[in-house]
Structure 1
Amino acid sequence: MKYEMKAMTNISSVVQFVLQGFSDLPNLQGLLFGVFFIIYMTVLIGNGLIVTITRFDPALQKPMYFFLANFSSLEICYVSVTLPRMLKNLWTQDRSISKVECATQMFFFITLGASECLFLTVMSYDRYVAICNPLHYPLVMNHKTCVQLAAGSWLGGIPLQLWQTCQIFSLHFCNFNEIKHFFCDILPVLKLACGSTFLNEISLYVAALLFVVVPFMLILASYSKIICTILRLPTATGRAKAFSTCSSHLMVVVLFFGSGSITYLKPKSTQSAGTDKLLSLFYTTVTPMFNPMIYSLRNKDVIAALRKIFLNK
């Protein structure tokens, strides 16, 4: 590996990292490549279909599907930050990554992760207005408001995450350069830094508070009001229909926030590389893969649009 020697000291500054990935499973490299390739193609095709049908089907020109199309586009970008690099490492067995590439991957990963949290919050707000204030829904969720909410979700995390990435990679990394992960995530990279990382850990918890805890609390508040409103509906059919419009989103929220919160908010003393990799696989690959299935199988409008494409009905 390449090192930049510091004059007058015995310390070497790392300019290139090595991603451990799944090198501890040498006999499964080919199988893992095949599995992750299938997962990546599934994410691209599934979310790509959602984007296509919500863009061109007249029945899906509603705020809910506008946000769903943006969310599916975000999932494609989110997965593309990590999976192609992991596939390359598995195929070539060259697991090295430069400091600049590592910083770039981290920035896009945490920024898109923040955007995902914001989008899930916006989507819960959309369901709240639709169910709790249906008469005002067209006025409140007009096209301009939807575009502003989507733009805020895409761009809202950039300033803090850019600052956080710059702070992390301004640290001094020495001696050991193997990242015990399959991508450049914050916690595994911080473990390689020399000296104190206390301020970086504080900024990480602040970012987690702003982009994980606060959005999750807002989602809980929205759904508590949604559930109260649904339970007051006079007919069982009405309650079932109302639940069906938000159950898919709620499932995605639980999957994404559950695994992400365990990873970033658990005490440092309980962290292990193996557990972190497993949880990261869940919210970086498994959840984006199942999202199109969750939204399509539980949504009659989406199923009808898919039938038009594949069955010409």
Structure 2
Amino acid sequence: MTIAPSPHALRIAVIGGGENCEHEISLASADSVAAALSGIGHEVVPLTIDPHGGWLDGDGTPIGLAAAVDVLCGCDVVVPVVHGPRGEDGTLAALCDLAGVAFVGSGIRPGALAMDKWATKLVAQALGITTAASVVLTTSTASTYRFRGPVVVKPIAAGSSHGVRLVDSEAELAPALAAAFAFDDRVLVEEVQHGREIDVAVLGMNDGGRHVSPLLEIVADGLFDHDAKYGGHADFRVPAEVSLSERNALVAAALAMYDALGCAGVARIDFFLTESGPVLNEVNTMPGFTAHSQVPQMFAADGLTYTALLDTLVQDAAAAGARRPTTAVSEGRVPSR
């Protein structure tokens, strides 16, 4: 892959942490991003959202939301490295939009849709992309569900596999539902998919260009759960060994989802590759972003280093500027009622 970002140094706010179950993972990603960007000459201004939603400066001093917005407005671009709810779900994109600040990554709509696994399925189905058969349960409807075979139970809007369990027997169902409901008030119960876990990363540029990474295969003994992801023994294989027709099908589905959701920057689209073809698992608009995370490894396999990937993202976002769509009002025209 050949991408030549500008060497222009920027003042960059990097936001980590977050008021959700992925707080620690987000801190690790943000620290790694900040160190890498500082290492290539950018001025990095770190901000942290604590587990209770409070804003802290780089020294860990509480500063509050208003002061944090002032910091954001004093930067060329913001990198919101907050995975999960109240971050990746469009919340921070909305804050940056309202503040009129350029930011890396997807906007409000794609963040919200991709975070909602049920909504993502509906988009995929409209595109003709296969998804696992599933049902949505709430605390009031969970008692109506009848177990008919192995399923995966997961919160609809959570990440890093928090609250996700493989249920092989009816006796395991109630504890699995309780674990999922601890993270969300809606739960997805999915039919188990038998196939290889293959990830596709898409890097979208402001000029409309799309760069697809080499594919990554996750080799796991059973469910690729939180412990498998972050226990230091995940087996990632890049590039994944797939046939040309399989690769074409996976890439086509990933690009279709990226564009239909309206993603920007990097997104990771996860599939099961079954005997019948790709089955969409989920879309991550702010995937893990340490140098050892899946997406950086995928692009590194194509010659784009971690620092070059980050520099590409911040330079492209800064060049695009704040995302304020032109409207009749902003042009001085009052719309008719």
TM-score by length of 2: 0.24
Higher Rg of the two aligned structures: 1
Between Structure 1 and Structure 2, which shows a larger proportion of strand residues? 2
Between Structure 1 and Structure 2, which shows a larger proportion of helix residues? 1
